[in-house]
Structure 1
Amino acid sequence: MSKNTPAEDVPVRRIDRILAFMSLGLLALSIVSFFAIMIASASGADMSTGIWPLVGVLVYIAPVIAFAMILAVLIMSFARRARANRGG
């Protein structure tokens, strides 16, 4: 029979949910931006004016920020579980 550890009773905090959903949103925004750039390029839009430079940078920056957020969630989760397993 397995031992019941306190780590099973550790609740999910609000900041964990916020970071997880923000990272998911950034990844979705990056994918939508990528397809918008592909469609606009195929239709002959001028990619050097308007909002297109911002959309182009978003495709590069958003996945990196989302990855950092997921790492932060994982590190906070592991630290919280370790603290709960120690009993402190």
Structure 2
Amino acid sequence: MSTRTSRDSTPGDDVLVRRIDRVLAFMSLGLLALAIVCFFSVIIGSSSGADMRSGVWPTVGLLTYFAPPVAFACLLAVLIMSFVRRARANKAR
């Protein structure tokens, strides 16, 4: 049983994690993992002599370039939204 009073609570205790925060965080993690997998597949494919100008390889190459900045933008959006939400919660006190 907790005997915590209102003065024992920290400023960010009552801030809930919303669904959009979870979605953006997991999307960021997924895009980063996908970029790493694509990077290693390009390395393995080019060393094994695959034709990088046909098939699925151009898409894999583009994912290697564009997924990390999009993942960073998603992570930045999550951070900004959580800072704004915490600031509003602290201001309401």
Q: TM-score, normalised by structure 1?
A: 0.93
Tell me the equivalent position of 1:10.
Answer: 15
Local SS of the residue matching 1:9: coil
TM alignment of 1:53-72, pairs within 5 A: 53-72=58-77
Q: Count the aligned residue pairs.
A: 87
TM alignment of 1:42-57, pairs within 5 A: 42-57=47-62
8 Å CA contact retained: 1:5, 1:85: no
Greater radius of gyration (CA): 2
Q: TM-score, normalised by structure 2?
A: 0.88
Deviation at 1:4, TM superposition (A): 2.5
8 Å CA contact retained: 1:23, 1:70: yes
Paired-residue identity, %: 67
Moved over 4 A (4+): none
The range that moved more, 50-59 or 2-11, is 2-11
| Higher helix proportion | 1
Inter-partner Cα distance in structure 2 for 1:3 and 1:80: 21
Inter-partner Cα distance in structure 2 for 1:5 and 1:40: 52
Query: CA deviation digits over 1:34-58, x for unaligned, max 9?
Result: 0000110111000000110111011
Question: Is 1:25–2:30 an aligned residue pair?
Answer: yes
Unaligned runs of 5+ in 1: none
